[in-house]
Amino acid sequence: MTKDKKQKAAFIDRDGTLIEEVNFLSRLEDLQLFSYTAEAIRLLKEDGFLIVVVTNQSGVGRGIFEESAMHAIHAQIQSDLTLDAFYFCPHLPTDGCRCRKPNTGMIEQALKNFSIDLENSWIIGDKAIDVETGFNAQIKTALVLTGYGREAASELERKPDVTAENLLEAVKRITNYELQKTNAEKSSI
């Protein structure tokens, strides 16, 4: 793979998707990966995905916890999983920033920092705003039913490309989705 070859990305929500949902998580002892998270990340890496966490952390803007506490949590996740990047929005919903999901600022930042094949990129999350971020960025969307996923499934008027029980099931569908597409391309030659 050449340096400037574009790589597809998996933009993954943090709370309720990559790790257990904890309201305003700030303590390392409350950080818990799902049992299948490492396996899901491995499959994505094997399939050539860049793995980018995109997380709204308004607890910072609300003064509920220090940004340093969030960085400590990201450092722990990073030591467990070795991902490509973490982007976070520390702002309040009322701040009107570009980065808070469902706005696409974090994805735009990733596009500046990496060479990303947006057309084959996905967002995976447990809230309607995650899926809506994907719609806004015109990438493929996967809703997981962990965290707030069941509420999100009933809220969303437009359906995501994939709805799955959890991150691992979503990743299996996403990597098969790619495989099916590749096979279809091959058979059309």
Binding residues for Zn ion, rule: CB under 5 A, are 89, 91, 97, 99-100
Q: Are 49 and 142 in contact (CB under 8 A)?
A: no
Whole-angstrom Cα Rg for the chain: 16
Kindly tell me which residue out of 126, 134, 144, 160 binds Mg ion, with binding defined by CB under 5 A: 126
Residue 89 binds which entry of Mg ion, Zn ion, none, with Cβ cut-offs from 5 to 8 Å by kind?
Answer: Zn ion
**Span 157-176, contacts to Mg ion by CB under 5 A:** none
Closest Cα to residue 167, out of 53, 58, 80, 85? 53
Kindly tell me which residue out of 13, 53, 132, 146 binds Mg ion, with binding defined by CB under 5 A: 13
Nearest distance in Å: CB 48, Zn ion: 29
9-12 sheet: strands from edge to edge: 85-89, 50-56, 9-12, 122-125, 140-144, 162-164
Measured at the alpha carbon of residue 42, what is the angle toward residues 167 and 153, in degrees to the nearest 5?
Answer: 10
User: Which is catalytic among the residues 4, 13, 80, 126?
Assistant: 13
Pick 48 or 105: Cβ nearer Mg ion: 105
Q: Is 4 a catalytic residue?
A: no
Nearest distance in Å: CB 96, Zn ion: 9
Pick 93 or 150: Cβ nearer Zn ion: 93
Residue 100 binds which entry of Zn ion, Mg ion, none, with Cβ cut-offs from 5 to 8 Å by kind?
Answer: Zn ion
Closest Cα to residue 105, out of 5, 11, 4, 7? 11
Q: Is 13 a catalytic residue?
A: yes
**DSSP reduced 3-state for 7:** strand
Q: Are 124 and 13 in contact (CB under 8 A)?
A: yes
Residue 111 binds which entry of Mg ion, Zn ion, none, with Cβ cut-offs from 5 to 8 Å by kind?
Answer: none
User: Which is catalytic among the residues 4, 15, 30, 47?
Assistant: 15
132 scored as a contact of Mg ion (CB under 5 A):
no
Which residues carry out catalysis?
A: 13, 15
